[in-house]
Structure 1
Amino acid sequence: MKEDLLYHLWQYQKFAKHNLRTVQGDELRVFSAGHLNTLAGPDFAYSKIMLNDVTWSGSVEIHVNSSDWYRHKHHLDENYEKVILHVVWNNDKEVKLRDGSLLPVLELKNRVYPEILEKYEKMMGDNHDFTCRNLITKVPDIKLANAFESALNERLRTKASKVSEVYKSTNQFWEETAFKVICSAFGFKVNSGGFGILAEQLRYDILQKNRDQRLKIEALFFGLSGMIREKNKDEYSETMKRYFSFLDHKYSLGGSMMSERDWNFFGARPANFPTLRLAQLAGVVCKSQLFFDAILNSDSLKDYYAIFEFEISDYWKSHYDFGKKKKSATFSLSKASKENLIINSVIPILAAYAMEKDQHQYWEKAIDLLSSLSPERNSITKKWNAMGVELGSAFETQACLEQYKHHCLEKKCLSCSVGYHLLHSHSSIKGNLSEEIVKN
């Protein structure tokens, strides 16, 4: 028996209620299970029960064994003096509060249906990524939709919190925040670390002062990233060296702050080389627009695509690295790349703004935008597809990524509406209750 199952049973009141009494013999009625407490202190707060004819409001503590009260040293913690009920699987030890009074105990081991325990043990004992893989297509659509909605909101909150950290680091300047988040997203998966470092190093005021001079912006990016190499001797490389030397001296940049070791070329396709991505980012920056203003006020998916449409310098139309020409003339961002950037920069910025300013309409705007984007294809979404789950938008693929990483892999089936449905579906009480349960 694990405490998380006991939390679940108490929270959703999934145990036999007939002739409900404490182990001390007091008649028990539960008006409210309370709210699960994820912080320090008793497990459930704001619970309400009746013992005999007296109504009590306070906290409920959950343990496998009643003796865990002492093992966890709750008897030494004054926060547990407001506990009104001790819910345990096995009552193996009498517990007293500081005033010497007995703590009322509800023992569940004879009040939970074996079918539920068997299903739970099977779920927890399954080593596969998805314990629900063989039954998920039989789960009502509304249950899966609820699971995805919950996971998506959880994912958005996590991403928004990271943007809020950037916002605070910029002295609450949304335009600089938007640039830094977009810069980090330009690394995509292969070079997210390198672009994240670069975003920290770049000074937004310098970008603003020089954004109408493309070569200076490119020199700033390539210089700080450590991409300008002495061995490169073509005309463009020499121009980059001169411009970066000028900018370094003018703004006291301190020279290159990164090196080639911070970037991944190996394993990346030429179209995803960090050099070409930096040139593309320079093209985006040199457009006459305010990133945050465009993100907040765009009304259509076409408008959001336009944020990442740009002109690139002639050199990078024919090169993917310094001194290395590419065979094709493709240099703009693909539709998939634009949608990746929208998912990983625009959406989190909208969500963060909604949280910071308590403007829920921007949270809804982020969700609507996700719903209009194409579903992503990756190793995890393919696993969902293989189980027969169709994913029709980025809303659903982002949700299933969160669900997989932070629920399925961690076996948090009890906090998932799908897991809840599978655990309790077809469970029923035959007649009233067994004599054993009635006696307890």
Structure 2
Amino acid sequence: MQEDFLHYLWRHKKFETTNLTTTSNEVVNVITTGVHNTNAGPDFFNAQLRIGEQVWAGNVEIHVKASDWYLHNHEQDNAYDNVILHVVWEHDTEIFRKDNTVIPTLELKHYVPIGILNKYKSLLTNKNKWINCEQDFASVDHFTLTNWLERLYFERLERKSETIEALLRSSKNDWEAVLFKMLARNFGLKVNGEAFFSLAKSVDFSVIRKVQGKQFALEALLFGQAGLLDFDVEEGYYLELKNEYQFLKRKFSLSNSKVPVQFFRLRPHNFPTIRLSQLASLYHEHQQLFSKVMALQDLDAFYELFKVAASSFWNTHYTFHKTSRTASKILTKPFMELLFINTILPLKFCYAKHNGQTVDVEIITAARRIASEKNSIVEAFNNLKTVSSSSMESQALIQLKEAYCSKNKCLQCAVGNALIIK
């Protein structure tokens, strides 16, 4: 038995509420269970109960065993003076107030339906499963799952907003700088995301503003900060970039990024050379990019805004060392959609929230226009039940796996709740 299950039972009244009695045989009528407290102090605030003939308003504390009260030293904590009921699974000792009066205790195990208890045990004791409910996930009704995924999508946006707000503070409230850092990270994808993010943080955005008018200079800056110009390569374009970067490094007192970029196991079009050149092209072509992004009204306008390619050198190269078949290295639509999902929509959400506005309908409409992402998490869920048809669902499923399934938070999950009470 775990305490969070007892919290769940109490919060949702998943027990027989008629004929409740305390361990001293006083009748208990639960008027309201109170507000669940996830911080320090009693577990539920402002509950209303009738115990015997007396109506009480106060706090409720919950433990697996009554003796946990002393194990947690609550008798020494004034925050627990207003506890009006001690809810336990097993009553193994009396609990007293400071004035030596007994705190009424409800032993919950006598009132929990055996069906709910068995379903809880079955759900939480699954071993070697990808997720606890994988055998029953497909049985959850469409309405429950649809509403839960929409809530999870916004929960994921809220989590990303915390990262954005931290970047905003470190960037002295410069939204343009925040956009650059987030775009840099997502241009790097999974393999080079942290390296590109480190690069973006290694140079003040004011320097980007000063050099973005010259694409060659901006490309030299990004390559140099990424450590890609630290080698001896006998190639004319490389040597020109190297000279330009040395000039910029002295002028702006720059230090290289500390996280090296990787080429290993990447497809050529995702090589850091190509992605950094495309990022340079984007910022060369668009001054005040953040304002333009915030003004976007639809997805098609975003595609047009981000329709850029690596500089002409990269038409015949993927690295500085050897030539390749001629091909323009443009940003593909699937890659732009990844940027839209992971950078633009979270920024729009956070910016609106920062300014006391709501753009939820606009965001969820846009997220549903983009096809579902393809990754191991989404594929695994779809193998259990086809649930992801758009980026809204795929982002929600990532949130579900990372924030709930992997942490065994089945009791805080609408899927887990539906299975327990089914």
Give the corresponding residue for 1:274.
272
Partners in 2 of 1:326 and 1:107 — Cα distance?
Answer: 75
> 1:321 and 2:319 equivalent?
yes
After TM superposition, give the deviation of residue 188 of structure 1 in Å.
Answer: 0.8
TM-score (structure 1 length as normaliser): 0.92
After TM superposition, give the deviation of residue 125 of structure 1 in Å.
Answer: 1.3
1:220 is paired with a residue of what secondary structure?
A: helix
CA contact (8 A) 2:85 2:103 kept: yes
Give the corresponding residue for 1:91.
91
2:266 is paired with a residue of what secondary structure?
A: coil
Give the corresponding residue for 1:360.
358
After TM superposition, give the deviation of residue 33 of structure 1 in Å.
Answer: 1.2
Give the corresponding residue for 2:237.
236
Partners in 2 of 1:422 and 1:12 — Cα distance?
Answer: 14
Identity %: 34
- The one-letter code sitting in structure 1 at the alignment partner of 2:154 is N
Give the corresponding residue for 1:428.
none
Give the corresponding residue for 2:399.
402
Give the corresponding residue for 1:386.
383
CA contact (8 A) 1:275 1:321 kept: yes
Give the corresponding residue for 1:350.
348
Q: Mapping of 1:77-226 within 5 angstroms?
A: 77-127=77-127, 128-226=129-227
1:29 is paired with a residue of what secondary structure?
A: strand
CA contact (8 A) 2:29 2:50 kept: yes
CA contact (8 A) 2:149 2:396 kept: yes
Deviates more, 1:405-414 or 1:268-277: 405-414
Partners in 1 of 2:294 and 2:369 — Cα distance?
Answer: 17
- The one-letter code sitting in structure 1 at the alignment partner of 2:357 is Q
Paired positions, count: 421
- The one-letter code sitting in structure 2 at the alignment partner of 1:110 is H
After TM superposition, give the deviation of residue 10 of structure 1 in Å.
Answer: 0.2
CA contact (8 A) 1:308 1:338 kept: yes
Deviates more, 1:61-70 or 1:94-103: 94-103
Aligned with residue 336 of structure 2, among 335, 338, 342? 338
TM-score (structure 2 length as normaliser): 0.96
Deviates more, 1:372-381 or 1:346-355: 346-355
Aligned with residue 285 of structure 1, among 279, 283, 286? 283
Deviates more, 1:104-113 or 1:49-58: 49-58
CA contact (8 A) 1:280 1:332 kept: yes
Measured against aligned partners, the alpha-carbon deviations of 1:384-430 in whole angstroms (never above 9, x if no partner) come to: 111122311000000011111221222221111111111111xxxxx
Structure 1 residue runs without a partner (length 5+): 426-440
Partners in 1 of 2:384 and 2:198 — Cα distance?
Answer: 38
> 1:247 and 2:248 equivalent?
yes
Partners in 1 of 2:74 and 2:361 — Cα distance?
Answer: 43
- The one-letter code sitting in structure 2 at the alignment partner of 1:339 is E
Deviates more, 1:81-90 or 1:16-25: 16-25
- The one-letter code sitting in structure 1 at the alignment partner of 2:355 is K
Partners in 2 of 1:158 and 1:379 — Cα distance?
Answer: 21
2:191 is paired with a residue of what secondary structure?
A: coil
Partners in 1 of 2:230 and 2:250 — Cα distance?
Answer: 18
> 1:371 and 2:368 equivalent?
yes
Partners in 2 of 1:318 and 1:108 — Cα distance?
Answer: 73
1:360 is paired with a residue of what secondary structure?
A: coil
1:171 is paired with a residue of what secondary structure?
A: coil
Measured against aligned partners, the alpha-carbon deviations of 1:206-227 in whole angstroms (never above 9, x if no partner) come to: 1112211011000110111110
Structure 2 residue runs without a partner (length 5+): none
CA contact (8 A) 1:146 1:417 kept: no
1:10 is paired with a residue of what secondary structure?
A: helix
Measured against aligned partners, the alpha-carbon deviations of 1:50-109 in whole angstroms (never above 9, x if no partner) come to: 223332222211100111000011111111112121110011110011122211111111
Measured against aligned partners, the alpha-carbon deviations of 1:345-399 in whole angstroms (never above 9, x if no partner) come to: 11221222233223222x4433332122110011111111111223110000000
